[in-house]
Amino acid sequence: MEELREDPEFAVEYLKAALESLTDAEDRGVSLIMLRALAEAYGGLGAVSAKADISRESLYRSLSPKGNPTLKTLVAVLNTMGLSLSVVPQQKKARKRSAKKTAKAASPRGRLSRENAA
């Protein structure tokens, strides 16, 4: 937790990982625990809830594995840590190559045909 507080770049990457997982129902609980750990690193849930003007009980509930924080709660908590949300385009998922195509491209015959084409 100390690293989260002392290294802002690490905290940002940690937060990004947590937020990316919020959309996956199976990973949502882990993401909320990660957000909770970040709040703990920035003075504890009591201090963060006081700065964010949110009841401590509400913050504990929101950042529990079955929590469902509102955008208002999330933004308030991030603001107390000197962080904010931003929006970026989704990265396109890399197309999966079939094992057959991958094997063919890696074969000596496949390499020779690519070299001859060049």
Nearest to 44 by CA among 29, 31, 63: 63
Say if 105 falls within a structural domain: no
Q: Which domain holds residue 70?
A: 2-80
Top pLDDT among 9 and 105 is at: 9
Phi then psi for 32, rounded to 5 degrees?
-70, -35
Residue 8 is assigned to a structural domain of this protein: yes
Flag whether 107 is in a domain. no
Angle at 64 (CA atoms; ends 19, 53), nearest 5 degrees = 80
Of 18, 40, 38, the closest CA to residue 29 belongs to 18
pLDDT at 56: 92
User: What pLDDT was estimated at residue 117?
Assistant: 56
82 backbone φψ class: left, alpha, beta (φ>0; ψ -120 to 50): left
Q: What are the structure tokens assigned to 63, written together? A: 């950042």
Of 90, 87, 89, 52, the residue nearest 35 (C-alpha):
52
Q: Is the per-residue pLDDT at 98 higher than 80? A: no
Residue 97 belongs to some domain of the structure: no
Total structural domains within the chain? 1
